Structure 1
Amino acid sequence: MSTTTLLAGCAGADDHANPLLSDWKTPYGVPPFEKIRLEHYRPAVERLIVDGHRAVNDITTNTDEATFENTVVALEFAQQPLERVLNVFYNLNSAETSDAMQSLAMELSPMLTDFSNDIMLNERLFRRVKSVYDEAEVSGFAGMATEQRTLLVETYKSFVRSGANLTPEQKSEYRAITGELSQLVLRFEQNVLAATNKWQLCLTDEAELAGLPESVRESAAAEAEAAGKKGWLFTLHAPSYVPFMTYSARRDLRERMYRAYNSRAFGGEHDNRSVVVRIADLRLRLANLLGYATFADYVLEERMAGTVARVNALLDELLAKTKPYAEKEIAGIREYAAAQGLEGGLMPWDWAYYTEKYKAATYDLDDEMTRPYFRLERVQEAMFMLAGRLYGLTFEENKDIPAYHPDVRAFEVYDDPERGGDGSPMAILYIDYFPRPGKQGGAWMTSYRQAYVDPQSGEQVIPVVSLVCNFTKPAGKRPSLLSFNEVTTIFHEFGHGLHGMIGRGSYPSQTGTNVRRDFVELPSQIMENWVSEKEFLDLWAAHYETGEKMPAGMIDKIEATKRYLAAYACVRQLQFGICDMAWHTVSEPLDTSCDVAAFEREAVSRTQVMPPVEGTCFSTGFGHIFGGGYAAGYYSYKWAEVLEADAFALFKLNGIFDERTARSFREHILTPGGSQHPMILFRQFAGHEPTVGPLLEKMGIPEE
């Protein structure tokens, strides 16, 4: 039964006035954003929860013998009407939120957790799923396609991992834990956003702008004007914070900014300390209830890495091999800063400032030199061009496709017939570039709809993908010019987008980025490599005013800086990963009076290569692990770096635009989604299991 059929079958007399409960008669069935109001969400969710219960009841009361189609597939698609509404709600709660929307998220959270638990703890439903699984296992899954087998196994395991085998008393405890966790995660995110938005640095004396480039000053002036203030306004959002820390010659102001950013939600009105401790404690209780020693053991069972020991071995190996080089890099910057007149020793708020100055002095290169060659529109053209050369994709903007904000652009994505496509649209892509008060910081890719095959019509339903960033908006006659890091960021997210757009399969829970968490970063991180390749930059990087190509000498300098501070950057990422593992490998309940900052300092002490700063604590703002889906999974970024370095080595060997290599990457990595174990997919592409050698070589560190 299709999503449309399910909706049509359940619509009541008042439902047609609610766009979330109607058939979306929009181009490609995208959400009708202009019709959706905040008051539509709750009644839609309530209605679709009722319908979801009805659909599950239809499965459990079916008198026919349980089969893959009438039980597992039926369950997969029974949840799609609710999923399409929740995709809209939660995506906008990150990209276009409000206080009222965040309050509604808190109200919906327990309802949705209860509904999920009602399904996963439904004994009759589990018996049917288990019956199908047991029979298939006995036969060796004979006659089942790979994606069918994967869906069956993952469905069965999801029940077991969600408490299906627990006693009634334990199930009650499971419900209580998951219900509270869902609320705490939302509260954590809301506190971080509120703390980020609240802090501002408004400067009125031009002397306080010493060192800041004109582009940064213009943006800060525009921020102040938009806020109804005089002077220049700086915030903790990345487009403001990063350039300020990089260029401001005022060390006192850099320190203020650093301390504010690194103590977000650490005390004060939006304090996350007790939230962090409670989340860690509840996750441990959940894992123990399901038979695991720690939450990390529970999580990693379903990751490519597989075990805590394997993750720790990776983190330890990389730390041992990179920390000595990181310390040498820091010593070099410390010596340089002292020669420049820095007194009192190099502190974290000095790092971006002096490393940028050192890079400019050593390589005659800094962000302000390259920024004019990275006009946002030109960068977008380059992304699309690369997707065309590698995978045969073309992009056409369609302004008739509804979007959720005037800044958002919508594109139809086509598969070139000359590269095997049929010429029909294969995806819809939204891109949302600029910061707003209602948008979370950072950058991310998300989906409004996964690809799947409609089980009733047999037609392919194309995915709807969104890239969300926070780049500096155009100011006056000056366009949006990106830093090199921002260019890298958008290519990273575009890699996720390609995974979502190219992914294909019959079942939405297996397509696109629905893969194991430590595999999902491979398609994104590999895309970063092209940004610093001379052969690629030479095709498109041009000055926004003169149109002149980026000078060959400048491209050579970009290539030369690829390894600049690579060891330090690696250790910094390892610090986050090790902190994450510390929070999620606790094996005893945490005391409610647990000192979050002290716990963090002890956990990361062996990674410390810069002086620790009293009064700061990154855990309370560590959204990836306490707000997002990277709990016991932040190591995934380093794991994926190992994968992408190994994979990109094949592109380097055969040519960075080699069609055969790109076709293999598309076929074995991007298209299958989560239909197969990622190690199988990686071996199919690379011909071997991944090793750390290519990553160390990429960083300029000899492998002993």
Structure 2
Amino acid sequence: MQRRSFLYATASAAVLVAFRNSLSFAKGEPAVPADPLLSPWTGPYGGTPPFNKIKPASFKPALTKAMELKRTELAAIAGTKEAATFDNTIGALEDSGRPFARTEAILGVYTSTLNDKTMQAIEKEVSPVLAAFSDEITQNEPLFARIKAVHDGRKAAKLAPDQLRITEVVYRNFARRGAALGKPQKVRLAEINKQLASLYTTFGQNQLADEEGQTLLLETDADLAGLPDTLRAALAPPKGFKGKAKGVISNTRSSVDPFLTYSPRRDLREKAWRMFISRGDTGAHDNKPVITQILTLRGERAKLLGFASHAHWAADDNMAKTPDAAMALMMKVWKAATLRVREEVADMQKIADAEKANLKIEPWDYRFYAEKVRQAKYDLDQNEVKQYCPLGKMRDAMFWAANQL
């Protein structure tokens, strides 16, 4: 079951890797084995991932080799005899690890959009390994010493604006991840990050298990009433389905939301809505204990890094800078936002009352009556718009936008 759009994830990975390769200080890369995961991508737009040549079993050995290659490159940077400069330290660091970046990018596509049982097992195994590798880089003291030297002398070196910005970002990223901590703190930080990596994977896989394992069956023609033909086709029982259902709503947003929008069956809308919001909330896949562990570890990590809370650590590297500033911004728009929601619900309630539906708008009614309001106010039918957005055109538009960036 897909957690994110395959097209979106692939395009994002391709754009990021292609952009990295286009940086002005990029010097190339070391020779790599003839492995589709490790080798440079070919084709337009800076190259595209060779998905037709990739097998899940290749990920672990490819990652192992990619980490070895990056370790070799980083050791060369950290062991350079010459004084640290932008070119031999920051630029070299940014240019290192291309095979690793490609492999990790494709792994991200597979684990987020093509995550079957095989990939789930791989993700569970490699997530803590990748977290440990990240800490290994961050906690490389000779490497950080060189980064700090370039950062401290950045003004005297009269770096170009892009070099200055990259130097500041690299130094800040290392510092925020504990590069300047003492050894005991670094050891504990690495333990926390490995635990968090495993917990994040568990959280996602718990939710995915409920998405894959829970469905709402539409058993009669009456259950399909009011649904557009395109949605009926999308909800048709999959090949090999055992049963006599007329339709199957999977526990995913792409399946539930359209049903909530078009089905006049309020009883079924409520069942679909409750199924969807209960993912990872009960039973064997209950994420509440996982969330508790994540919050506890995040709090401990924040304290190790010198912050009052995880929120303070996260906000420090963003525009808001503090949790209070972020909360103030939210509260600034809160009154207007809630007022608008009340207006929208009132419009929906008017239509429900006019139709003598004898109901009060509930969460499972929102999309259904929002569509009615849209049609009443603007004469806009989403199904009419769809014909102008075929998959091929949307794909072309995505790659056009990526190319412009």
Bin of the TM-score, shorter chain as denominator length? 0.7 to 0.9
Q: Which residue of 1 aligns with 2:291?
A: 276
Q: Which residue of 2 aligns with 1:303?
A: 318
Change in 2 beyond 3 A, CA 1:211/1:304: same
C-alpha contact (below 8 Å) 1:3/1:77 kept by paired residues: yes
From 192, 196, 203, give the equivalent of 1:177: 192
- The separation in 2 between residues aligned to 1:350 and 1:213, in whole angstroms, is 18
From 333, 354, 357, give the equivalent of 1:318: 333
Change in 2 beyond 3 A, CA 1:378/1:71: closer
Matched ranges for 1:58-73 at <5 A: 58-73=76-91
Secondary structure in 2 matching 1:19:
coil
> Is 2:225 the partner of 1:207?
no
Matched ranges for 1:668-679 at <5 A: none
From 344, 359, 365, give the equivalent of 1:350: 365
Q: Which residue of 2 aligns with 1:240?
A: 255
Change in 2 beyond 3 A, CA 1:224/1:159: closer
- The separation in 2 between residues aligned to 1:105 and 1:291, in whole angstroms, is 31
- The separation in 1 between residues aligned to 2:142 and 2:84, in whole angstroms, is 11
Q: Which residue of 1 aligns with 2:56?
A: 38
Change in 2 beyond 3 A, CA 1:118/1:218: closer
Q: Which residue of 2 aligns with 1:83?
A: 101
Secondary structure in 1 matching 2:284:
coil
- The separation in 1 between residues aligned to 2:42 and 2:378, in whole angstroms, is 55
From 71, 75, 81, give the equivalent of 1:57: 75
Q: Deviations over 1:20-77 (max 9, x none)?
A: 3445566654333222212221111112222222222212222111111111111112
> How far off its partner does 1:202 sit?
2.0
Q: Which residue of 2 aligns with 1:96?
A: 114
Secondary structure in 1 matching 2:249:
strand
C-alpha contact (below 8 Å) 1:3/1:81 kept by paired residues: no
Matched ranges for 1:215-234 at <5 A: 215-221=230-236, 223-225=237-239, 227=241, 229-230=243-244, 231-234=246-249
Q: Which residue of 1 aligns with 2:36?
A: 19
Alignment-mate amino acid for residue 69 of structure 2: D
> How far off its partner does 1:372 sit?
4.3
- The separation in 1 between residues aligned to 2:65 and 2:386, in whole angstroms, is 50
TM-score normalised by L of structure 1 = 0.51
- The separation in 2 between residues aligned to 1:312 and 1:170, in whole angstroms, is 31
> How far off its partner does 1:214 sit?
2.7
- The separation in 2 between residues aligned to 1:94 and 1:57, in whole angstroms, is 32
Alignment-mate amino acid for residue 117 of structure 1: D
Q: Which residue of 1 aligns with 2:277?
A: 262
Alignment-mate amino acid for residue 76 of structure 2: D
- The separation in 2 between residues aligned to 1:280 and 1:57, in whole angstroms, is 35
Aligned residues between the structures: 379
From 116, 119, 125, give the equivalent of 1:107: 125
Report which of the two has the higher share of strand: 1
Alignment-mate amino acid for residue 119 of structure 1: I
> How far off its partner does 1:321 sit?
2.2
Q: Deviations over 1:403-447 (max 9, x none)?
A: xxxxxxxxxxxxxxxxxxxxxxxxxx4xxxxxxxxxxxxxxxxxx
TM-score normalised by L of structure 2 = 0.86
Change in 2 beyond 3 A, CA 1:99/1:152: same
Change in 2 beyond 3 A, CA 1:52/1:233: same
Report which of the two has the higher share of helix: 2
C-alpha contact (below 8 Å) 1:4/1:23 kept by paired residues: no
Matched ranges for 1:506-545 at <5 A: none
> How far off its partner does 1:149 sit?
0.3
C-alpha contact (below 8 Å) 2:29/2:98 kept by paired residues: no
Specify every segment of 5 or more residues in structure 2 that has no aligned partner in the other structure, as ranges: 1-24
Identity %: 33
Secondary structure in 2 matching 1:136:
coil
Secondary structure in 2 matching 1:157:
helix
Specify every segment of 5 or more residues in structure 1 that has no aligned partner in the other structure, as ranges: 385-428, 430-496, 504-704
Secondary structure in 1 matching 2:248:
strand
- The separation in 2 between residues aligned to 1:225 and 1:52, in whole angstroms, is 45
Secondary structure in 1 matching 2:170:
helix
Change in 2 beyond 3 A, CA 1:234/1:156: same
Alignment-mate amino acid for residue 218 of structure 2: L
- The separation in 2 between residues aligned to 1:355 and 1:32, in whole angstroms, is 42
- The separation in 2 between residues aligned to 1:31 and 1:336, in whole angstroms, is 50
Q: Which residue of 2 aligns with 1:134?
A: 152
Q: Deviations over 1:458-517 (max 9, x none)?
A: xxxxxxxxxxxxxxxxxxxxxxxxxxxxxxxxxxxxxxx73x4334xxxxxxxxxxxxxx
RMSD (Å) for aligned C-alpha atoms:
2.4
Change in 2 beyond 3 A, CA 1:47/1:348: same
- The separation in 2 between residues aligned to 1:43 and 1:3, in whole angstroms, is 26
C-alpha contact (below 8 Å) 1:204/1:232 kept by paired residues: yes
> How far off its partner does 1:322 sit?
2.7
> Is 2:92 the partner of 1:74?
yes
- The separation in 1 between residues aligned to 2:142 and 2:54, in whole angstroms, is 37
> How far off its partner does 1:324 sit?
2.4
Secondary structure in 2 matching 1:212:
coil
- The separation in 2 between residues aligned to 1:26 and 1:365, in whole angstroms, is 41
